[in-house]
Structure 1
């Protein structure tokens, strides 16, 4: 499925509205001046307020991206793609790797589409 390439400064957040930051693993390939995110990049979440019943905090700390590009490789790794801004094809995860819901991407570059 084609989608827009994700990049380092794409604005995204966890299901509970905490900001998420894409930490790129390659500095060479740029889109609109920002490094393209590959499937080896980490997406870190900071400040998630989610807790489960009982006082046990279960904040989102990472996002596992589930939609790699099928044809576009960046330095040998598939690029991360998103069909359109909005709910992303990924899973926010707690420190214990418990799925918390999909991330929300509100701003991404609109020019480069990958398959």
Structure 2
């Protein structure tokens, strides 16, 4: 069993930008924080990425979620879910990094 991500979790881009964890889920809560869904798109603030030109991560789109734990047939996000950090042109800039999660609710 793996911890489920909620709006109280902390997720960052690989360059130090912080994701604003919002969700369409208003039903399933853990310690008062809504669980995140694979279909959620999270804006990123504060990414300084500039390989040649300034090209910050702006959003996270999730590629994987739970295989057996879902809400309304949509997989919830787990600590091990894979998210891609994308720039304004929707080009992947690297994987999302899950920094902090709750430990009460878990899924698979």
Question: Same fold by TM (over 0.5)?
Answer: yes
Output the aligned Cα RMSD.
1.5
What is the CA-CA distance between 1:3 and the residue it aligns to? 2.4
Residue 66 of structure 1, CA deviation = 2.1
With normalisation by structure 1, the TM-score equals 0.85
More strand by share: 1
Write out the 4+ residue segments of structure 1 that deviate beyond 4 Å after TM superposition.
none
Aligned-residue offset at 1:6: 0.7
CA deviation digits over 1:61-91, x for unaligned, max 9? 01122221111111231111123xxxx6221
Structure 1 residues not aligned, in runs of 5+: none
State TM-score, norm by structure 2. Answer: 0.90
SS of 1:82's partner is coil
Give unmatched runs, 5+ long, in structure 2.
none
Write the distance in 2 (CA, Å) between the matches of 1:37 and 1:43: 10
**Does 2:15 align with 1:16?**
yes
Number of residue-to-residue matches in the alignment? 108
